[in-house]
Amino acid sequence: MDFEIALFIALVVAGVIIYIDKIFGAPKRAVNSKRGSGEATLRMPILVEYSRSFFPVLLAVFLLRAFVVEPFRIPSGSMLPSLFIGDFILVSKFSYGVRLPILKKKLIPMGNPDRGDVMVFRFPRDPKTNFIKRVVGLPGDVVSYHNKRLIINGKPVPIEASDLIDWPTKDSSEERVRSFFERFGEEKHAILIDTLRSANSIRVTVPEGQYFVMGDNRDHSNDSRYWGFVPEEFVVGKAFFIWFSWDSVGENFVNWKRIGSFIQ
């Protein structure tokens, strides 16, 4: 079950218990109190006590996740070197507009994804699964990918050599994976190219109300090149901050250097 739905159900159940107690239980305890009944009959039921204690917490968490920020964990290396496996990130839920919880309908437009944003969205082929990729194509853009170069509206996206660590795998040479900086306007981000992997050429026009997304780890990313566009109604929010990082492959389990980093 989706965590947001489970949280909403828990919130409703706690609220119903509190309401029923207010209508039926509290008046009865008040009458017994005037009659001088024993302590056991005046005590609030434990279920009501827990509901009254947890309801404000559940409400705060639900509103925070629905309208402000939501935490996510990076499960794969498709966004290397920008995001590591084990990064715990925060996603702004209002950067692209305020949406109605559960139903996901936009209530207040506040902006649209920009080219270069790192965006969380519901996977079009399985809306229960969240994906994270970089927005490279906006509605109306003509996006091409040829010889591992990204071209937007007929203009190659500028890249420059990077001195980042190359990320070789155990069965590869040091020259297999190369890193570059790719630039959208004034903003730049790092990408990885696997020189031993082939890449198909594509050329598509992004439909209105949809977005073309790619992973920064270009040869190891399941993205719009393979399954198509992201509809606007599937957008969850903009990733902006790494609040914790767990290094699952190194000797140091907590990756302290990444904690507190902003996502570019």
Same domain, 29 and 50: yes
Q: How does DSSP assign 163-193, residue by residue?
A: -S-----TTS-TTSEEEEEEEETTEEEEEEE
Reply yes or no on whether 133 is catalytic: yes
Nearest to 116 by CA among 150, 72, 154: 150
The pLDDT of residue 10 is above 70: yes
Is the Cβ–Cβ distance between 86 and 248 less than 8 Å? yes
| Pair 138, 18 in one domain | no
Average pLDDT value over all residues in the chain: 88
Residue 122 confidence (pLDDT) above 80? yes
Are the CB atoms for 90 and 68 separated by under 8 Å? no
In this structure, the answer to whether residues 91 and 61 fall within a common structural domain is: no
Active-site residue 179, yes or no?
no
Q: Which of 125-129, 150-154, 160-164 has the lowest mean pLDDT?
A: 160-164
Reading phi first (left if > 0) and then psi (alpha if -120 to 50, else beta), residue 123 is in beta
Active-site residue, selected from the candidate residues 78, 82, 179, 221: 78
Based on the fold, state whether residues 208 and 138 are members of the same structural domain.
Answer: yes
Range of the domain at 48: 3-67
pLDDT band at 37, cuts 50/70/90? low
Question: Per residue in 209-228, pLDDT tens?
Answer: 999 999 999 999 999 999 99
CB 194 within 8 A of CB 216: no
Residues 81 and 139 in one domain: yes
User: At a CB cut-off of 8 Å and minimum separation 6, what does 94 contact?
Assistant: 67, 68, 110, 237
Which residue out of 133, 144, 221, 224 is catalytically annotated?
133
